[in-house]
Amino acid sequence: THYYGHLESLLKDKTIQDYPIGYDYNNEQDRFGDIARIWNQTYEPGSKEWVEYLEHQKANKVTFDPTFNIYAASRDLMRARNADWHQNYTMPQLWNYFQSTRDNHGSYFYDWTTENEYHWKMFYQRYMRLMNDYKNIGGRVTVGTDSGFIWKTYGFAYVEEMELLREAGFLPLEIIRSATMWGAKTLYEPKGEAPPMGVVRTGLLADLVITTENPLSNLKTLYGTGHMRLNPQTNRQEKVGGVKFTIKDGIVYDAQKLLAEVAAAVAAEKRTVTTSAQQ
């Protein structure tokens, strides 16, 4: 889970990342700002060492769960801070937690610069290549999140993770497999049990989402906030998509009703909780 240890294991001519002299791990701006600078200290993608590392992981049946989404704000802070869903679906307490402060873990954007984002963008290119290469040699890669930190709101981050896997080079069908069958196998294999869900099959639990759009052509239509599309007849934008029904263990839930309940709960909290910045 996360990127921890991957690129450190691929350092080219040293055994510890070349940190700045004044680096302080307990200063989270240093910790999360400087880690991305490892990207050009490793063996190149496709090199013998790169391939051997992945083959070793596969031989040991390691599953990678990259959680790209949780650190995505590090490469584009304004995008994460202004995501469509914060206004209606992020609780004010969580919004306050996200604000830059030394008091909260993961709120490390004390003075986040273009240089920080540049190195994180380069880091992501290498990290994504590693995950895609592992998938391509038969390694298992799953879809996961670590929401509640770093501008990530529960539920929405999962769809973002799918989009980031697409950016990494996964085909849409490969992403769906990672989110369903491979995720279920990862959870149940340690128990020595066959997964009771993960594929659509008679006798298994129905864990499904029902949507009017095809996510293989546009994963954005899975977001609760939907996707904006221009209607060619009216020349006006319309919201499409969004999950209509969620089926969990065979029980059908109205996803739009649940979203409305969340929005109402957030609105109620905003009437009693003061936010530390514009939400």
**pLDDT tens digit sequence for 1-26:** 799 999 999 999 999 999 999 999 99
Whether this prediction's pTM lies above 0.85 is answered by yes
Given a cut of 50, the residues of the chain with pLDDT beneath it are: none
pLDDT of residue 1: 72
pLDDT of residue 38: 98
Per-residue CA distances from 276 to 79, 92, 94 (Å) = 19, 9, 11
**pLDDT tens digit sequence for 86-106:** 999 999 999 999 999 999 999
Per-residue CA distances from 278 to 36, 82, 86, 140, 177 (Å) = 29, 10, 10, 41, 38
pLDDT of residue 205: 95
User: What is the domain partition of the chain in residue ranges?
Assistant: 8-200
pLDDT of residue 275: 80
Rounded to a whole number of angstroms, the CA Rg of the chain reads 20
pLDDT of residue 216: 98
217: left (phi over 0), alpha (psi -120 to 50) or beta: alpha
CA 76 to mean position of chain CA atoms: 14
161: left (phi over 0), alpha (psi -120 to 50) or beta: alpha
